Amino acid sequence: EAQVTQNPRYLITVTGKKLTVTCSQNMNHEYMSWYRQDPGLGLRQIYYSMNVEVTDKGDVPEGYKVSRKEKRNFPLILESPSPNQTSLYFCASSSMSGLAGGRYEQYFGPGTRLTVT
Partner 1 sequence: GNSVTQMEGPVTLSEEAFLTINCTYTATGYPSLFWYVQYPGEGLQLLLKATKADDKGSNKGFEATYRKETTSFHLEKGSVQVSDSAVYFCALSDYEGGKLIFGQGTELSVKP
Q: Are 85 and 13 contacting, i.e. CB atoms less than 8 angstroms apart?
A: no
Angstrom distance (rounded) from CA 23 to CA 35 = 12
Nearer to partner 1, 6 or 85 (CB): 6
Q: Which stretch binds partner 1 (CB under 8 A): 16-24, 52-60, 62-70, 76-84?
A: 52-60
117 HSE (CA, 13 A, CB side) = 4
Asked if the bond preceding 8 is cis, omega within 30° of 0, the reply is yes
User: In the complex, what is the shortest distance from the CB of residue 18 to partner 1, in angstroms, rounded to a whole number?
Assistant: 25
65 in contact with partner 1 (CB under 8 A): no
Nearer to partner 1, 39 or 69 (CB): 39
77 HSE (CA, 13 A, CB side) = 8
Q: Are 6 and 57 contacting, i.e. CB atoms less than 8 angstroms apart?
A: no
Nearer to partner 1, 42 or 62 (CB): 42
User: In the complex, what is the shortest distance from the CB of residue 111 to partner 1, in angstroms, rounded to a whole number?
Assistant: 5
Among 40, 62, 69, 117, binds partner 1 (CB under 8 A): 40
Asked if the bond preceding 81 is cis, omega within 30° of 0, the reply is no
User: In the complex, what is the shortest distance from the CB of residue 24 to partner 1, in angstroms, rounded to a whole number?
Assistant: 14
103 in contact with partner 1 (CB under 8 A): yes
